[in-house]
Homo-oligomer: A and B are copies of this chain.
């Protein structure tokens, strides 16, 4: 990388921007509760200018590269999904350029799509940039990336190419079961209970014939029968869902899965790290730096493609 860039991670609920120096180090960071859902159509340029206008004025030639839901149909511009297998060159080729009056050119990174074993489409948007960044840090070889969140993504990467990935709706299912189902009604408090969490993970990991639709009910009956205190049911349910996800991913991915790279903030990452280790899977953790690195690599590749 030969110059500064502005790296923008613009998701559904959150806006993050980084001023990155030629060594890839973050010089300044802006963070705002200004996700794509809060920005009216036509107001994306203004919103971006509000956040990073001062950087732009100081460095008029700075390239801006943005990833996340900003490139979705509900975002600034739709950057169509690129099909797997795909790597840095494919993502760069799929970039959609915006020419904005105020902030100048903005490169919007596309999401990725693949087909599962049933031929059903799967999608990610934002995570591809984190994976490309993370894979650069790890170098050649085959890696499994896990990116927890509302919809957790498991991706298989070979020599920097995302071969395929799978979405699990674990985070969202936990949230709606907690807040809208009969399971939540019995739960008191939300202090985390490591033992109950581990019990949930174990129950989810040992897949029984009756499956998740049945096992979920245990987060009620164990409380009804005083076999788990009601204050521990939330941790148990979280463990049960994450354990089920790990069991499914293990089966789907097979022998590759003795270690994974977990990319996430500490909040949502911690229970995944715990559950993965409990399941005998090695874990390397990465945070924000994967996003910044991914956006920097795309900016760099774009500059070289255009020169």
Interface residues of A (CB under 8 A from B): 116-118, 120-123, 150-151, 166-170, 172-173, 176-177, 179-182, 203, 206, 208-218, 221-222, 224-225, 227, 241, 244-245, 247-249, 251-252
A60 to B54, CA, bound (A): 87
A118 to B218, CA, bound (A): 10
Task: Establish whether residues A211 and B210, one from each chain, have CB atoms under 8 Å apart when the complex forms.
Answer: no
Please name all residues of chain B whose beta carbon is closer than 8 Å to the beta carbon of A172 when the two chains form the complex.
Answer: 181-182
Task: Establish whether residues A121 and B210, one from each chain, have CB atoms under 8 Å apart when the complex forms.
Answer: no
Task: Establish whether residues B176 and A213, one from each chain, have CB atoms under 8 Å apart when the complex forms.
Answer: no
Please name the 8 residue pairs, one residue from A and one from B, whose CB atoms are nearest each other, closest first.
A211-B248, A209-B252, A209-B251, A168-B213, A121-B221, A120-B218, A176-B180, A167-B217
Please name all residues of chain B whose beta carbon is closer than 8 Å to the beta carbon of A225 when the two chains form the complex.
Answer: 121
Please tell me which one of the listed residues B208, B213, B221, B244 contacts residue A170 in the complex, with CB atoms under 8 A apart: B213
Please name all residues of chain B whose beta carbon is closer than 8 Å to the beta carbon of A241 when the two chains form the complex.
Answer: 213
Please tell me which one of the listed residues B211, B222, B244, B251 contacts residue A120 in the complex, with CB atoms under 8 A apart: B222
Nearest B residue (CB) for A216:
B169
Please tell me which one of the listed residues B118, B203, B214 contacts residue A168 in the complex, with CB atoms under 8 A apart: B214
Task: Establish whether residues A217 and B181, one from each chain, have CB atoms under 8 Å apart when the complex forms.
Answer: no
Nearest B residue (CB) for A248:
B211
Q: How many copies does the complex hold?
A: 2
Most B-side CB within 10 Å, residue of A123, A176, A213, A218:
A213
Task: Establish whether residues B118 and A217, one from each chain, have CB atoms under 8 Å apart when the complex forms.
Answer: no
Please name all residues of chain B whose beta carbon is closer than 8 Å to the beta carbon of A212 when the two chains form the complex.
Answer: 211-213
Task: Establish whether residues B121 and A213, one from each chain, have CB atoms under 8 Å apart when the complex forms.
Answer: no
A208 to B110, CA, bound (A): 29
A179 to B227, CA, bound (A): 31
Given contacts A121-B222, A121-B225, A121-B227, contact A214 B180 (CB under 8 A): no
Task: Establish whether residues A116 and B248, one from each chain, have CB atoms under 8 Å apart when the complex forms.
Answer: no
Task: Establish whether residues A181 and B170, one from each chain, have CB atoms under 8 Å apart when the complex forms.
Answer: no
Nearest B residue (CB) for A241:
B213
Task: Establish whether residues B181 and A176, one from each chain, have CB atoms under 8 Å apart when the complex forms.
Answer: yes
A101 to B245, CA, bound (A): 54
Task: Establish whether residues A116 and B224, one from each chain, have CB atoms under 8 Å apart when the complex forms.
Answer: no
Please tell me which one of the listed residues B176, B208, B227 contacts residue A116 in the complex, with CB atoms under 8 A apart: B208
Given contacts A180-B180, A214-B166, A214-B168, contact A120 B221 (CB under 8 A): yes
Please name all residues of chain B whose beta carbon is closer than 8 Å to the beta carbon of A247 when the two chains form the complex.
Answer: 211
